[in-house]
Structure 1
Amino acid sequence: MWNDLMHLQISLPDKIVRTVAVYLLLAVILRLVGKRDLAQLNAFDLVVMLLLSNVVQNAVIGPDNSLLGGAIGAVVLIAVNAAVVRLVRRSDRLARVMEGTATVLARDGRWDEQALRAEGLRQADVDAALRRQNANSVAEVERVTIEPGGAIVATLNAEDESATAGDVARLEAKLDAILAAIRG
């Protein structure tokens, strides 16, 4: 039993190369598929992600079913990911290559239909994201983008933004000054 758990059925370099190759392949595929799949998972996307992990499992572990082989694959996968994340964090250029850039979905209250199609987004889904950010419709936004990680970000028109405590304080100060001038 101990031998089955700890005996590698493929060589250590083979295990490392397999893991790194599958990691890079999946990173490229996810980069090419688009931003929506990263943050806006629906039920179909979740099914694909679960099946994808099963499909690539054998490519990572090969014919090795040992505990040690699985542990090595997991350690290599986490180490490669940590290294890539650190490299991307240090270089804006590498971040643009690996993660992409923000895509403008709407500008000045008008949808960019071509951008929505390119990102595989339905207008109704982006409308829901706008409502979560205090916009009732696209007419109230200066700009809507989908960020490289898949987050949808709305920049509201200045007149449609909610008042802050600072705004209220400034108005109170102006009102106090007006009242003081009237009285004095």
Structure 2
Amino acid sequence: MLFDSWTGLGRVLLVGPLAYVALVAILRISGKRTLTKLNAFDLVVTVALGSTLATVLLSKSVALAEGVLAMAILVFFQFAITWLAVRVSWVDGLIKSEPTLLVHNGLFLEHALRTQRVTKDEVLSALRSSGAGDLAVVDAVVLETDGSMSVLKGQSGTPETTTLANVQGELSA
């Protein structure tokens, strides 16, 4: 169907900007962390907010007040859970994964690649993107909690003093 009614278009024109302004206000009040791309938990909240906004805009059976309340509840729970995660380590472990070492001292860690379902080609792509032309000069490639890969070149110091301190994986000499 190409067109249903002028009433439907009018509703979208009225409710759309109001729902958008409400969502922006809720996000500004909740702080920067609400829309970060730090882990799967944050992604789920972001997708749920988008879905809720779309439902408010397009479903005649959902009133604006109900939609704004639903968005506020999602943001409140995201805020509360991340607040707890910063203060209680087991909550943090429950909602976030740990970064994983995929390459160490120029060598692929096969077990980590299999466990994380990452191919060597994907790692090589990340290396190229970071400007690394030779695997031998790479000290580490880390699969971060948000799914991105960090490439570390020229690390010095012990694993406890480098940025690899909280990374899962075997650090061989």
* TM-score of the pair, normalised by structure 1: 0.48
Shift of 1:158: 5.3
1:142–1:155 contact (8 Å) kept in structure 2: yes
CA pair 113-132 structure 1, distance change in 2 beyond 3 A: same
Name the structure 1 match of 2:145: 148
Alignment of structure 1 residues 113-128 onto 2, 5 Å: 113-128=110-125
1:99–1:149 contact (8 Å) kept in structure 2: no
**SS of aligned partner of 2:93:** helix
Shift of 1:83: 1.3
Name the structure 1 match of 2:75: 78
Query: Is there any run of 5+ residues in structure 2 with no aligned partner, and where?
Result: 1-6, 8-39, 157-173
Alignment of structure 1 residues 89-108 onto 2, 5 Å: 89-108=86-105
Counting matched residue pairs gives: 111
Q: Distance in 1 between matches of 2:74 and 2:87?
A: 20
**SS of aligned partner of 1:72:** helix
Root mean square deviation, CA, Å: 3.6
Shift of 1:77: 0.7
* TM-score of the pair, normalised by structure 2: 0.50
**SS of aligned partner of 1:145:** strand
Q: After TM superposition, what 4+ stretches of structure 1 lie above 3 angstroms from structure 2?
A: none
> What percent identity do the matched residue pairs reach?
22
1:144–1:152 contact (8 Å) kept in structure 2: yes
Alignment of structure 1 residues 5-154 onto 2, 5 Å: 30=40, 65-154=62-151
Using CA pairs under 8 Å that are at least 6 residues apart, name the structure with larger relative contact order, 1 or 2: 1
Structure ranking higher in helix proportion: 1
Shift of 1:100: 1.4
**SS of aligned partner of 2:62:** coil
Q: Amino acid of the residue matched to residue 99 of structure 1?
A: K
Query: Is there any run of 5+ residues in structure 1 with no aligned partner, and where?
Result: 2-29, 32-37, 39-48, 160-184
